[in-house]
Structure formats: structure tokens, C-alpha cells
């Protein structure tokens, strides 16, 4: 064993990979049911897109990006998140010139150069939903509900929704100034003092107890909202209540990306240790303009597939191994193997999941393979059966076995499995 996967890159092998697909499917189903269309965007983009979109002051941009020069000397960056790329694609192709909102979902890997730990990876898998071109608080609530329903569909019961608002460009500056005045008077380390000047809101989110104690009396955004932000926030909460989606008001919640405005939220799972955020999102009404586009509001979320898998496992929801196939072929001898190979192909074409034993495996080993595959039926074919023109079809669970003429095998099995 000479090579190993790059540091911080998780791999999902069977049977655990089934959970990976289940997580993606749960969220994709909800997004599709809610009228969102799939969009496939690049894994890397112009570095400047992320610098301007995500924000020059963020840790993501300043120290976590996988940036490289391509052979033409352009600075490219592996996507650290999806929203900037989805917005860029929307603007470039004029999707926003049609009826609004533009409702999109996507999924795949994102990349951040960080020190790995439990639930934190350098290649992380996200599932994203974005609604572009709407200010309606109902869409804020809709996107939250999609994420919530995804967690519910997976059977997760411990997920918490932490909800906040960050105000808009009307009311946030005054709050920001008030918060800075408060924070400058505190006894904080140098890095945190620097943060006060760049992004003071994030100081509120500091988890260190000595910092938390000091910011306990800090002014809160919820006391500084303008009338329209307050109305927006109240409406979002009313609609969530109508849907029966529970949340906790968390006025200190801040997100690490600069583009967020108004509604912001995070989904949290208590069984995950330090990296407990399993999803997060909000409104980004200024993003389009930040990257050179027109004034175009948007709202959306990202959920972390890797961490949701950990949550599913923490709640012990991922135990049953799904059967790989419904029918498993057990050949005895070369002639039988050839004939069975064709029969298995025909079963697959008829929509029946099928596999067979290879490498001239003996009967015992092949039957063991049938057992491991989870197949409902084993089809045993040897010289005797070939001579008789039939195969032995064995129901694995009951052990009942009957001879079925080779010409009727596909139809019979398809019928029995459907019935």
C-alpha cells in the first residue's frame, strides 16, 4: 500500500456509501417537489469571484482556499462554497431575465484548506438550494422548510434550527457601529480586536467562554432592525410556525460568509461534537451587486452531507444494509456460466437487478455469494439442468426450489418479484 487519499478527504465505501446516497436523495426529493431545478456549476472558478462574493474579510477567503495558477497563468480556485458560482452562472446566462424567482439546487464537493477533525474535511460534500430574484419572506421559509423536511425524511429527531436576522444595508451600519463601540471597550486578544474592525458581528459568535462572558451584554441586532427588516423577520417566523417547523431565536448567530443579509440560520445536531453545524443559510440580497451584477436578491442554504451522515449514524438510523440485487446466478461449469451470463443480462434489461458468481467459484462459494448479495432468488444452473432445459430457482429465505424452463426464466422471475 503505497498511496493514500489526500489529507482530509473522506471516502464513502460500501455499505456506508448507501447512506451517502440516501442523504442526497432525501434533500433532492424535497427540492424537486418544491419546484427547484438542478443546476451543474463548475468545481473551480476565477479566484476573484470568491474573493468578491464570499468576502475578503472571511477566513474562507484569506486562509482556506485551494488557489492555483492554471497553465495560462489565470488564478483559479476550487469552490469553497456554491452560492457565488450559482449566482455567477445565473447572471452570465441571464436566467434572471425570465420569470422570478429562479429556483435551483445542486450538490457536490467543495474545498477548504483547513486542519481536519471530526466532521471537518478539506473536501466536503454539500447539498445546495438557491432562490434568486425574490424578496418574499415566504421563500425564506420555503427554503428552510426544504432543509427541515430533508432531515425529517432521514428520520433525524435531534436537529435544531437556530434562527436570526442580520438586518440590511439600511439598518446594519448603525448597529455595526454601536456594536463596535461596545466591543472596543472589552479586554480581548489581538486577533479578536482586529476582527472588531473588519467584521464585528463575528465576535458575537466566538465560542470561548471568556469572550462569551464579555459579550453577554452586547447590543443585539434584533433591537436595531429597520421597520421592513423587522416585518420580514416576523413574517418568516409566522410562516414557519404555520408549517410546524420549530426554531430557536438566536440573536447572536452570525455566519462566516460576508454576503448574508436579513434571514440567517443554522441547523445544529447535538451528538456531533465540535463541528455540530449540519446546515446553514440565509438571504444574500447584496451578492449579485458584489460580483458586478444588477440588484438581485436571493435566499438559500447549504447542508453538509458528510456531517448529516455522521448525524444519521449518531442517531443509529443507518443499520440495515440494502440488498444489492434481487436475483443471483449460480453456475456450475463453463457451459452453464456462459448461458447464465446471458440470462442475467436479460434479467437486467427487463428491470430485474441481477448478479452472478464469477471465477468458476464452487457451488458452496457461489451460494454464499447469493446470500451476501441479499438476492431474493438464486438461479442454479448446471450440466444436468442444461440437459433438461431448465434452471433451479431457489427462494433464499424459505429454501423452496423449483425447476423453471430456461425460456420462461426472465418472465417468471420478473412476475414473482413484482407479485
Partner RNA sequence: GUGGGUGUAGCUCAGGUGGCAGAGCGCCAGGUUGUGGUCCUGGAUGUCGUGGGUUCAAGUCCCAUCACUCACCCCA
59 contacts RNA (rule: CB under 7 A): yes
Cβ atoms 364, 316 nearer than 8 A:
no
- Is 165 a binder of RNA (CB under 7 A)? no
CB of residue 5 vs RNA: minimum separation in angstroms?
7
The distance of closest approach from Cβ of residue 242 to RNA in the complex, given in angstroms and rounded to an integer, is: 25
Q: Does 201 bind RNA (CB under 7 A)?
A: no
Around Cβ 11, how many Cβ atoms within 10 Å? 8
The three cell numbers locating residue 212: 462569551
Tell me if 302 contacts RNA by CB under 7 A. Answer: yes
**Rule CB under 7 A: is residue 17 a binding residue for RNA?**
no
The single residue among 172, 262, 307, 339 that binds RNA, judged by CB under 7 A, is 307
Q: How is residue 14 written as a grid cell?
A: 460500501
Among 160, 361, 416, 417, binds RNA (CB under 7 A): 361
255 binds RNA (CB under 7 A): yes
Question: Cβ(268)–Cβ(67) under 8 Å?
Answer: no
Task: Report residue 203 as a C-alpha cell.
Answer: 465576535
For RNA, give the closer residue by CB, 132 or 370: 370
CA distances from 250 to 94, 296, 391, 405 (A): 36, 27, 66, 68
Closer residue to RNA, CB minimum distance, 139 or 278: 278
Q: Which of 75, 23, 29, 114 is nearest to 311 (CA)?
A: 23
Query: Shortest gap between Cβ of 83 and RNA (angstroms)?
Result: 8
> Is residue 319 involved in binding RNA (CB under 7 A)?
no
* Beta carbon of residue 381, minimum distance to RNA (angstroms, whole number): 7
Helix (H, G, I), strand (E, B) or coil at 62: helix
Hey, is 302 helix, strand or coil? strand
CB of 178 to RNA, least distance (A): 20
Count of H helices and E strands in the chain? 15, 16
Binding flag, residue 7, RNA (CB under 7 A): yes
| Contacting residue, 91, 132, 139, 257, with RNA by CB under 7 A | 257
**What is the chain's alpha carbon radius of gyration, rounded to the nearest angstrom?**
27
CA distance 161 to 144: 9
Stretch that binds RNA, among 65-73, 86-94, 236-244, 361-369 (CB under 7 A): 361-369
Contact between 401 and RNA (CB under 7 A)? yes
In 10 A of CB 216, how many CB atoms?
Answer: 8
> Binding to RNA by residue 114, rule CB under 7 A?
yes
Smallest separation (angstroms) from RNA to the CB of 98: 28
96 binds RNA (CB under 7 A): no
For residue 64, with 0-12 CB atoms within 10 Å meaning exposed, 13-18 middle and 19 or more buried, which class applies?
Answer: middle
Half-sphere exposure of 24 (CA within 13 A, CB side): 14
In whole angstroms, what is the distance from residue 31 CA to residue 33 CA? 5
Residue 101: how many CB atoms within 10 A of its CB? 21
Nearer to RNA, 230 or 276 (CB): 276
**CA distances (Å), origin 404, targets 8, 325, 328, 381, 410:** 52, 20, 15, 11, 10
Q: According to the binding rule CB under 7 A, does residue 146 interact with RNA?
A: no
Asked whether position 340 contacts RNA by CB under 7 A, the answer is: no
Among 81, 130, 140, 285, binds RNA (CB under 7 A): 81
Binding site for RNA (CB under 7 A): 4, 6-8, 58-60, 64, 81, 112, 114-121, 124, 126, 195, 202, 205-208, 255-257, 266-267, 273-280, 302-304, 306-307, 332, 361-365, 367-368, 370-372, 378, 380-385, 392, 394, 396-397, 399, 401
Amino acid at each position: 500500500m503505497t498511496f493514500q487519499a489526500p489529507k482530509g478527504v473522506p471516502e464513502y465505501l460500501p455499505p456506508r456509501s448507501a447512506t451517502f446516497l440516501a442523504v442526497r436523495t432525501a434533500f433532492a426529493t424535497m427540492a424537486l417537489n418544491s419546484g427547484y431545478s438542478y443546476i451543474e456549476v463548475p468545481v473551480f472558478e476565477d479566484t476573484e469571484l470568491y474573493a468578491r462574493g464570499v468576502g475578503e474579510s472571511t477566513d474562507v477567503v484569506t486562509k482556506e482556499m485551494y488557489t492555483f495558477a492554471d497553465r495560462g497563468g489565470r488564478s483559479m480556485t476550487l469552490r469553497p462554497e456554491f452560492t457565488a458560482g450559482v449566482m455567477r452562472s445565473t447572471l452570465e446566462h441571464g436566467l434572471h431575465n425570465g420569470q422570478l424567482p429562479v429556483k435551483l439546487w445542486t450538490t457536490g464537493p467543495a474545498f477548504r484548506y483547513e486542519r481536519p477533525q471530526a466532521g471537518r474535511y478539506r473536501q466536503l460534500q454539500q447539498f445546495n438550494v438557491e432562490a434568486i430574484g425574490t424578496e418574499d419572506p415566504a421563500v425564506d421559509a420555503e427554503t428552510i422548510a426544504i432543509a427541515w423536511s430533508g432531515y425529517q425524511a432521514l428520520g433525524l429527531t435531534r436537529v435544531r434550527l437556530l434562527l436570526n436576522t442580520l438586518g440590511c444595508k439600511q439598518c446594519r451600519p448603525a448597529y455595526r457601529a454601536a456594536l463596535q463601540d461596545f466591543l472596543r471597550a472589552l479586554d480581548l486578544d489581538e486577533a479578536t480586536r482586529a476582527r472588531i474592525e473588519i467584521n464585528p458581528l463575528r465576535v458575537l459568535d466566538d465560542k470561548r467562554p471568556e469572550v462569551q462572558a464579555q459579550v453577554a451584554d452586547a447590543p443585539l441586532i434584533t433591537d436595531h432592525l429597520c421597520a421592513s427588516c423587522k416585518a420580514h423577520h416576523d413574517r418568516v417566523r409566522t410562516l414557519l410556525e404555520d408549517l410546524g417547523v420549530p426554531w430557536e431565536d438566536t440573536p447572536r448567530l452570525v455566519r462566516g460568509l460576508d454576503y448574508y443579509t436579513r434571514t440567517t440560520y443554522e441547523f445544529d445536531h447535538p451528538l456531533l461534537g465540535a463541528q455540530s453545524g449540519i446546515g446553514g443559510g440565509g438571504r444574500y440580497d447584496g451578492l449579485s451587486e458584489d460580483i458586478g451584477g444588477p440588484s438581485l436578491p436571493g435566499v438559500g442554504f447549504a447542508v453538509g452531507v458528510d456531517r448529516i451522515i455522521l448525524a444519521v449514524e449518531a442517531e443509529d438510523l443507518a443499520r440495515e444494509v440494502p440488498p444489492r440485487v434481487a436475483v443471483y446466478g449460480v453456475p456450475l461449469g463453463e457451459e452453464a456460466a456462459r448461458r447464465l451470463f446471458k440470462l442475467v443480462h436479460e434479467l437486467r434489461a427487463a428491470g430485474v437487478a441481477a448478479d452472478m458468481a464469477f471465477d468458476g467459484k464452487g457451488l458452496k462459494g457461489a451460494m454464499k455469494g447469493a446470500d451476501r448479495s441479499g438476492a431474493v432468488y438464486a438461479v442454479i444452473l448446471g450440466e444436468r439442468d442444461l440437459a433438461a432445459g431448465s434452471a433451479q430457482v431457489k427462494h433464499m429465505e424459505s429454501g423452496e426450489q423449483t425447476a423453471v424452463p430456461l425460456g420462461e426464466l426472465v418472465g417468471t422471475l420478473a412476475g414473482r418479484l413484482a407479485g
